[in-house]
């Protein structure tokens, strides 16, 4: 399984990668912004994507729409420091499959990841 981790913080990207390392994941790519994420996704069509909302150059909601244009079935989990309910609802309405708030609890992340895989 191919995983794409999109977040402008390298610390967060590494934490997500560490927390999700298991036998299912065969390839992990990382992107620091939405533009890089779209380019990588076009090349590799990852199975699962974790996506931050607040990023430079292309924000997460715009990136979400771009990724879903490439593949309407993309499995995207939003992981954001934005805790307001409206942002979560917008992301879910636009096609995200889940929403977690930072700071990330490793157990909640793994549970959300497993739910994506069974979706």
Stretches in the chain below the pLDDT threshold 70: 23, 83-84
pLDDT at 23: 65
Please state the length of the chain: 119
CATH superfamily, domain at 2-118: Response regulator (3.40.50.2300)
- Give the residue from 32, 2, 7, 5 showing the smallest Cα distance to 17: 5
Q: How is the chain split into domains, by residue range?
A: 2-118
pTM of the predicted structure, to 2 decimals: 0.93
pLDDT at 35: 97
pLDDT at 14: 95
pLDDT at 89: 87
pLDDT digits (tens, 9 = 90+) for 63-96: 999 999 999 999 999 998 876 678 888 999 999 9
pLDDT at 40: 98
HSE toward the beta carbon, residue 86, CA cutoff 13 A: 0
Torsion sign over Cα 9, 3, 27, 66: negative
Containing 2, the helix (H) or strand (E) segment is strand 2-6
pLDDT at 37: 98
């Amino acid at each position: 399984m191919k995983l794409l981790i999109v977040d402008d913080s390298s610390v967060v990207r590494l934490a997500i990668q560490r927390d999700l390392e298991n036998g299912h994941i065969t390839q992990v790519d990382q992107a620091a912004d939405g533009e890089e994420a779209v380019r990588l996704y076009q090349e590799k069509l990852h199975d699962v994507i974790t996506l931050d909302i607040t990023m430079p150059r292309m924000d997460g909601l715009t990136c979400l729409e771009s990724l879903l244009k490439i593949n309407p079935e993309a499995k995207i989990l939003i992981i954001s420091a934005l805790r307001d309910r409206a942002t979560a609802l917008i992301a879910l309405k636009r096609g995200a499959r889940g929403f977690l708030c930072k700071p990330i609890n490793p157990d909640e992340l793994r549970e959300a990841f497993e739910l994506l895989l069974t979706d």
